[in-house]
Structure 1
Amino acid sequence: MANELMIFAVITALLALIFRFTSLIVNSRRNRKKAVAFFHPYTNDGGGGERVLWCAVKAIQEESPDLDCVVYTGDHDASPQSLMDRALDRFGVKLLYQPKVVHLCKRKWIEETTYPHFTMIGQSLGSVYLSWEALCKFTPLYYFDTSGYAFTYPLARVFGCKVICYTHYPTISLDMLSRVRQRSSSYNNDALIAKSVWLSRCKIIYYTLFSWMYGIVGSCAHLAMVNSSWTKAHIEQLWGIPDRIKRVYPPCDTSGLQALPLERSTETPIIISVAQFRPEKAHTLQLEAFSIAMKRLNGGKPKPKLQFVGSCRNKSDEARLQKLKNKAVELNVDGEVEFHKNLMYRDLVRLLGGAVAGIHSMTDEHFGISVVEFMAAGAIPIAHSSAGPKMDIVLDEDGQQTGFLACTIEEYSDAILRIIGMSETERLTMAAAARKRAKRFSEQRFYDDFRAAIRPIMCLPYRNSNDVISNRDTDEERVCTTLYTVCGAAISNLFEAIHKHCVRAVQRGESSSLSWLGLRRAEYGCFVKFSRLLQLNEFLYKVSKCGKIFCWSFST
């Protein structure tokens, strides 16, 4: 008896929970707004991803003026005017009108610090919770993810949204699996795990399962734009939707930077590094390579200066920046190294205009906007020999070398010395070729490719969610109705059997079987009367309707 009552209580609670969630989804689908909502929880990160956000907002404002542009952000100080000003001041992107803002309160669930272990799956599941908050507050017609949270796509489809994404890099890649198999230590493979065969095998299983899940959720996107050949190859393999994947190079401000003169002062050659202060950007490698180059520098050569320019998203980035400053002191090069945090765009342009070289050291950088900015500004790039820089950017232009690729500290050091030792004619020739190459990644090219990609999605007819609920004529919905009717009948019969058993137990005086709930016979009588008022048939019919909506959302 106790077991049967437990089943009754559990099933009732589950159905009540399902009904609450599905009712919320139904109401949200009915109240969808004719808008494009950008899921970008960090609107102050200052990186290439934020530039893509504002350029995408501008492109949609120009392409579809009748659509509202909304930004989901976890920055509570962000207002429509401040975001519009930031787009202009930080990135030189002038929006046509202010975007609407939806503030999110649950951003801590996607913070790295929230998940010291199993970070990927933790942040991915946390993003679903954050997206639930976002979609409940505002349900758009088009859900546009610009931050790479693929686990939110199935939820957005359940809410009736068309899902569009701009993916900068896959959350997991075959290269990451390869590094774990080789047991090589890196920012995303702790040295303790790399040293242990057993832990490495466990992590391989974890990565394999995660990549399978990532492929399933990613395939829910109606349109996936990617930023490079490297990213495109990985996403096609993981998501399995090649016909819905378009390569759209990210917007690089090549027009403004190309107006800078190629001639630079060589009295103190400046090498610039532009990247967020994140662990994968490998700033320490740059500092160590610069230190080695300084030691190897001939007496007759001018002493170079290294400038670090980047933004800090949180306290972890701030701590990382401080460690970098301490490292410069330790290497005895603090007098030749400068640090610039959270610069305005105009100040960044000024610094780029004075640099003879730009250094970038992230392994498997998906694209490398800063590398293109170096080239457009006339600074010869020194980039990591992998992924975007190797496959798309630092390639010969008309047979002329456009920069240097390196992997090790020694190779970076050699490249620094090569550039410092160039004659003015040689440097200008390479810088001119690099600038010409950078024109392939202009902001205008992004706008053209972006509009071409979204037009087929934006031009689709709007299907009213009310029609989905009321129309019961399709084969798919008839199947769903039958399925839920059968399930409802089974549950109803189960409840009826439990109810009859409970009544007999009360009549026989077997109240001891109910004592685990702390119920006396009189209280249980009230419980029985309440259970008769559940109106189960109507409830199950509502669940049936919600089930049809769920199935339809994945068929669109």
Structure 2
Amino acid sequence: MAMEILLWVLKSALWALVFSFLSVVIKGRKNIKRAVGFFHPYTNDGGGGERVLWCAVKAIQEENPNLDCIIYTGDHDASPESLSGRAVDRFGVELLYPPQVVHLYKRKWIEEGTYPRFTMFGQSFGSVYLSWEALSKFTPLFYFDTSGYAFTYPLARMFGCKVICYTHYPTISLDMISRVWERSSMYNNDALISRRVTYSGQSFAWRFASIWLSRCKVIYYTFFSWIYGIVGSCTHLAMVNSSWTQSHIEKIWRIPERTKRVYPPCDTSGLQVLPLERPVKTPTIISVAQFRPEKAHTLQLEAFSVAIRKLDAESPRPKLQFVGSCRNTWDEERLQNLKDKAIELKVDKDVEFYKNLVYRDLVRLLGGAIAGIHSMIDEHFGISVVEYMAAGAIPIAHNSAGPKMDIVLQENGQQIGFLARDVEEYADAILKILMMPETDRLEMAAAARRRAGRFSEQKFYEDFKAAISPILCHASN
């Protein structure tokens, strides 16, 4: 109790100091316009976050046509017409009218390559600088963050904005802290920190360094989590995309009364018209995800390689299709490394890569797949998993977070897919689908498609409008 009181006092003192200082700096700068400003620095990422952006813009245009929609983007070639066209071409979302665009030129301050160490802190405070540029150029009545930059919320409030956010994934979660305690190596936990060395000679030195670095990182994560809780609590409305995200946000931000779960929009209607019957000569498995480290594409490739080696000689040889987008040169490098890995595993002739596909081509590929694979640990929700199901492809998803808690559940007692954690489990799931009788596959695919209907785009619009209506009504006052 004493510690909680101390933290409350420190929190109050910190905010009093920050507000008193910045209020003086910002005083006189306020020129608030009746608009909704969407802070989305990467409008070309091509992932589920971008789909949410365009569906959110459309929902607000429908709910309150008198409010202008502004997009803050670091893509310098973006224009109202190009973004409106992209929403249709890439996601099938037709906006009522093109949004206005405010170009940002400080985006390098939120790029991961700018911060080789202390990346979370660097990107978070860099986002404040980028948000300052955005709000200085155009101050909207409503500031809407759709990219997870919670550190910008206090600044937006100081500019006089009502703050709304749609959080896909907490910047820091309790799971991340526990993994550092357990010294588990992941894409965001350096191997030196997580290493458990047992060989002689350097054993003691390596183990001491690993333990010491792990303890330091726990302190770093704990401190960051505390600050993240403070800035996140500044939002007037926090929409979250899954049960897993909601649980973590409520524990860290501690504003359950202002936290609403709104499942992301999935194109179930457009995909559900695809026939469930698939070509059997060359069964295809599809993987739809941005080429980012947390998506664990290498695990999928290794599992596919293991499955092929275990496959009977008489069985048709499957094909794996990677479909994703690249945001920058680091993503491009990851894609090339994946291609090299396919050659190393001797499955390059069975693997196809598709970068930055337009929406109609993605639908075509989904319509030919018998299964869809997903392997991100603690995926906040998993739009691609729902898209697999709606298209009639049996999902193989990671046994954690969104897919485990919300999506790959039984539908009226019928199994709809598989959950896996490591290469062997993924390979076994692939083999089960490949060896499954066609009648059983069709039955499972049909059940998966029925469940996908729970996460439709129409359902998103209904829940989204219900959540934002109390906030937007401020515009009428």
TM more than 0.5? yes
Q: Structure 2 counterpart of 1:452, which letter?
A: A
Three-state SS of the structure 2 residue aligned to 1:151 is helix
The answer on 1:149 being equivalent to 2:163 is no
Q: 1:273 maps to what in 2?
A: 287
Three-state SS of the structure 1 residue aligned to 2:29 is helix
The answer on 1:299 being equivalent to 2:313 is yes
Q: 2:229 maps to what in 1?
A: 215
Q: CA deviation at 1:299?
A: 1.1
Q: 2:402 maps to what in 1?
A: 388
For residues 414 and 185 of structure 2, what CA distance do their matches in structure 1 show? 36
Q: 2:251 maps to what in 1?
A: 237
The answer on 1:200 being equivalent to 2:201 is no
Structure 2 CA distance for partners of 1:19 and 1:230, relative to 1, 3 Å: closer
Three-state SS of the structure 2 residue aligned to 1:27 is coil
Contact 1:28/1:139 (CA < 8 Å) preserved in 2? no
For residues 279 and 126 of structure 2, what CA distance do their matches in structure 1 show? 49
Counterparts of 1:400-419 in structure 2, within 5 Å, are 400-419=414-433
Q: 1:356 maps to what in 2?
A: 370
Query: Which consecutive unaligned segments of at least 5 residues does structure 2 have?
Result: 1-18, 196-209
Three-state SS of the structure 1 residue aligned to 2:157 is helix
Q: CA deviation at 1:462?
A: 6.7
Three-state SS of the structure 2 residue aligned to 1:460 is helix
Q: Structure 1 counterpart of 2:184, which letter?
A: S
The answer on 1:329 being equivalent to 2:343 is yes
RMSD across aligned positions (CA): 1.3
Q: 2:442 maps to what in 1?
A: 428
Q: 2:93 maps to what in 1?
A: 93
Structure 2 CA distance for partners of 1:32 and 1:24, relative to 1, 3 Å: farther
Contact 1:309/1:343 (CA < 8 Å) preserved in 2? yes
For residues 265 and 29 of structure 2, what CA distance do their matches in structure 1 show? 34
Structure 2 CA distance for partners of 1:247 and 1:122, relative to 1, 3 Å: same
Contact 1:168/1:227 (CA < 8 Å) preserved in 2? yes
Q: CA deviation at 1:363?
A: 0.3
Q: 2:200 maps to what in 1?
A: none
Q: CA deviation at 1:264?
A: 0.4
Q: CA deviation at 1:22?
A: 5.1
For residues 375 and 99 of structure 1, what CA distance do their matches in structure 2 show? 32
Three-state SS of the structure 2 residue aligned to 1:163 is strand
Q: Structure 2 counterpart of 1:346, which letter?
A: R
Three-state SS of the structure 2 residue aligned to 1:165 is strand
For residues 361 and 241 of structure 2, what CA distance do their matches in structure 1 show? 26
Q: Structure 2 counterpart of 1:411, which letter?
A: E
Counterparts of 1:70-89 in structure 2, within 5 Å, are 70-89=70-89
Contact 1:108/1:114 (CA < 8 Å) preserved in 2? yes
For residues 389 and 377 of structure 1, what CA distance do their matches in structure 2 show? 17
Which deviations, in whole Å up to 9, do the C-alpha atoms of 1:489-532 show, x marking residues without a partner? Answer: xxxxxxxxxxxxxxxxxxxxxxxxxxxxxxxxxxxxxxxxxxxx
Q: 2:201 maps to what in 1?
A: none
Q: 1:25 maps to what in 2?
A: 26
Q: 2:127 maps to what in 1?
A: 127
Structure 2 CA distance for partners of 1:193 and 1:273, relative to 1, 3 Å: same
The answer on 1:448 being equivalent to 2:462 is yes
For residues 57 and 38 of structure 2, what CA distance do their matches in structure 1 show? 8
Q: CA deviation at 1:461?
A: 5.9
The answer on 1:189 being equivalent to 2:189 is yes
For residues 363 and 291 of structure 2, what CA distance do their matches in structure 1 show? 19
Contact 2:283/2:316 (CA < 8 Å) preserved in 1? yes
Q: CA deviation at 1:439?
A: 0.1
Q: 1:113 maps to what in 2?
A: 113
For residues 445 and 138 of structure 2, what CA distance do their matches in structure 1 show? 48
* Matched pairs, number: 445
Runs of 4+ in 1 over 6 A off after TM superposition: 18-21
Q: 1:172 maps to what in 2?
A: 172
Q: CA deviation at 1:88?
A: 0.3
Q: CA deviation at 1:283?
A: 0.2
Pick from 326, 331, 353: which aligns with 1:312? 326
For residues 81 and 391 of structure 1, what CA distance do their matches in structure 2 show? 39
Three-state SS of the structure 1 residue aligned to 2:102 is strand
User: Which has the larger share of helix?
Assistant: 1
Q: 2:61 maps to what in 1?
A: 61
Q: CA deviation at 1:460?
A: 2.5
For residues 385 and 151 of structure 2, what CA distance do their matches in structure 1 show? 30
Q: Structure 2 counterpart of 1:152, which letter?
A: T
Contact 1:382/1:404 (CA < 8 Å) preserved in 2? yes
Which deviations, in whole Å up to 9, do the C-alpha atoms of 1:125-172 show, x marking residues without a partner? Answer: 000000000000000000000000000000000000000000001000
Q: CA deviation at 1:67?
A: 0.1
Q: CA deviation at 1:110?
A: 0.2
Q: CA deviation at 1:268?
A: 0.4
Which deviations, in whole Å up to 9, do the C-alpha atoms of 1:339-361 show, x marking residues without a partner? Answer: 00000000000000000000000
Three-state SS of the structure 2 residue aligned to 1:459 is helix
Q: 1:248 maps to what in 2?
A: 262
Q: CA deviation at 1:384?
A: 0.3
For residues 388 and 438 of structure 1, what CA distance do their matches in structure 2 show? 13
Amino-acid identity (%): 77
Contact 2:34/2:475 (CA < 8 Å) preserved in 1? no
Contact 2:23/2:158 (CA < 8 Å) preserved in 1? no
Q: 1:481 maps to what in 2?
A: none
Q: 1:458 maps to what in 2?
A: 472
Contact 2:303/2:423 (CA < 8 Å) preserved in 1? yes
For residues 29 and 42 of structure 2, what CA distance do their matches in structure 1 show? 25
Three-state SS of the structure 1 residue aligned to 2:141 is strand
For residues 277 and 61 of structure 1, what CA distance do their matches in structure 2 show? 32
Which deviations, in whole Å up to 9, do the C-alpha atoms of 1:511-555 show, x marking residues without a partner? Answer: xxxxxxxxxxxxxxxxxxxxxxxxxxxxxxxxxxxxxxxxxxxxx
Which deviations, in whole Å up to 9, do the C-alpha atoms of 1:167-222 show, x marking residues without a partner? Answer: 00100001101110001110000001112000000000000000000000000000
Q: 1:290 maps to what in 2?
A: 304
Q: 2:8 maps to what in 1?
A: none
Three-state SS of the structure 1 residue aligned to 2:281 is coil
For residues 22 and 234 of structure 2, what CA distance do their matches in structure 1 show? 21
Task: Give TM-score, length-normalised by structure 1.
Answer: 0.79
